[in-house]
Amino acid sequence: MIEYPDDAGLRREGGRHGLRTEVMVRDVVRVVEVLNLKRQRFFSKRSVLSGSMALRCFGSPRFTVFDADFSTNSETVDPPLKVKDLLAYEDDMLTITPVSAAAADAGGTLVKVVPIAFDPVFTEIELSDEQRQFKADVSFRKLLLDGREVPLTTPYQLDLWNAGAEETVFVMDPREAMVEKILGWSVHAQAKHYGDVAWMSYEAFEVGNPDFDFKGAELRSLLADKLAAMRKLQPDTYASFPHVDAVIGKLGQPPVLDRREWQRMVYLKAHRTRWTQAELHRIVKDLLMPRLRIRL
């Protein structure tokens, strides 16, 4: 599956990136989980890795410490709660045991698998029961765009693959990730969503990263389509957003980021002074908002 790292490597790379050792262990486990799903043919253009673990494949400076997110369909997993069985894994060095899975909405379009317990025999680092857990959110809400197959990457260097080898995985198209993050911020006002929107905007419109070849009018149209789909699935949740301009208007307001959420967000050490709240707001206001207001 992977070349499991030794404890010295986990501590070294954790220190280099400002990540606690238990976070490093959990992340290695989540990488194994992704590869476990790949071996079961979970991934395809319409069944993808999403969320922060997908964005890291494009260089995201934010490091999620607990979640693993996926978007799939009934052709891949049926019934939806069967995803719990797919997430189970065992080898000589690691056991992953999903404890509970349940639908998180009335339509059963989102399954939360939590906790997912693991026993990491590959390390002697002491972990509490809580530290030996993660969770997975698995969406069955259908993608608007085909996923992209890209190398599965980590921000740390632990030689998880054999020399010269490369693992690839299908991830959510960055354009769809962007509009999902915009909706996530508009509806739930979570700091991590605003941070990710700002980072993707910076990569697209200031850096010119070809992975983020965003066109404002295209993003606006895609955002309108995603909003329409979510309003059908969750009319009460999206009642305050009858049209795309309501979402764009909310995004354009000065953000009020929950202090505890902001403190829980983890940026890699090299990026912590760069990504301030003021900088996030500047990027969204000056780079993204003018483009989203452009109509097709």
Quick one: 27 and 77 in the same domain?
A: yes
pLDDT tens digits for range 144-163: 999 999 999 999 999 898 76
Quick one: 120 and 210 in the same domain?
A: no
Final residue in a domain of this structure, among 134, 154, 171? 171
Residue 108 has what pLDDT?
87
Residue 249 has what pLDDT?
95
Quick one: 17 and 96 in the same domain?
A: yes
Distance from C-alpha of 256 to C-alpha of 48, rounded to nearest angstrom? 31
Quick one: 43 and 30 in the same domain?
A: yes
Residue 85 is assigned to a structural domain of this protein = yes
Spatial contact of 118 and 29, defined as CB atoms under 8 Å apart: yes
- Using the predicted structure, report yes or no on whether residue 100 has a pLDDT greater than 70: yes
What six digits make up the tokens of 51? Answer: 């969320």
Residue 295 has what pLDDT?
65
Quick one: 272 and 146 in the same domain?
A: no
Residue 99 is assigned to a structural domain of this protein = yes
| Domain encompassing residue 119 | 7-171
Final residue in a domain of this structure, among 153, 171, 189? 171
Quick one: 161 and 21 in the same domain?
A: yes
Quick one: 286 and 180 in the same domain?
A: yes
Final residue in a domain of this structure, among 135, 154, 171? 171
pLDDT tens digits for range 192-230: 999 999 999 999 999 999 999 999 999 999 999 999 999
What number is the average pLDDT over the span 22-29? 98
Residue 1 is assigned to a structural domain of this protein = no
Nearest to 180 by CA among 206, 200, 205: 200
Q: Which positions ≥6 away from 125 have C-beta within 8 Å? A: 7, 10, 21, 22, 25
Nearest to 182 by CA among 48, 260, 284: 284
Quick one: 140 and 50 in the same domain?
A: yes
Quick one: 166 and 150 in the same domain?
A: yes
